[in-house]
Structures are given as structure tokens and as C-alpha cells.
Amino acid sequence: MYDTANNNPDPLLSPEETARYLNRDIRTLANDRSKGEGPDFIKLGGLIRYAKSSLDKHIADSTIILKK
């Protein structure tokens, strides 16, 4: 979660920001969390955060490439 090459921390997104980034409903994210599905998340105290790199990995892992 930390880019040592550039000394830049991985941005942490709120559930609202994550919902916009993934084009999903915030309630879907909450349901996925409760079922142990969806992108990895971090719980900091009472706050839920998503590392942007985890979201990008989730998108890549969910991508289906059709062969022609």
C-alpha cells in the first residue's frame, strides 16, 4: 500500500468514492463486505477504506477477455 519507488502512499478511498470509482451502488459494496466478497477493504477504527491499488487489482481480476 506504499509506493516505495516514489515515496507516495496508496490513496485510501471512502465507500462513497469507491462506489463512484467502480460505478456501483454503495449498498452493493456494503453487502459485498458483509458476505466476504468484492474488493479488499481496510477497517480503521469505525471507518471503512479501500486502497486504490486493491480496487485496480479487483478490476483487473474481474476482467474477462473473450478470444475470437
pLDDT tens by residue, 2-37: 455 566 689 999 999 999 999 999 999 999 999 999
b or e along 20-58 (b: 16 or more beta carbons within 10 Å of the residue's beta carbon)? eebeeeeeebeeebeeeebbebeeeeeebbbbeebbeeb
pTM to 2 decimals?
0.80
Residue 42: inside a domain, yes or no?
Answer: yes
User: For residue 52, what are the domain limits?
Assistant: 2-62
Number of domains forming the structure of the chain: 1
Residue 48: inside a domain, yes or no?
Answer: yes
Average pLDDT over residues 51-63: 95
Residue 47: inside a domain, yes or no?
Answer: yes
Residue 68: inside a domain, yes or no?
Answer: no
* The pLDDT of residue 9: 84
* The pLDDT of residue 17: 98
Residue 34: inside a domain, yes or no?
Answer: yes
Residue 26: inside a domain, yes or no?
Answer: yes
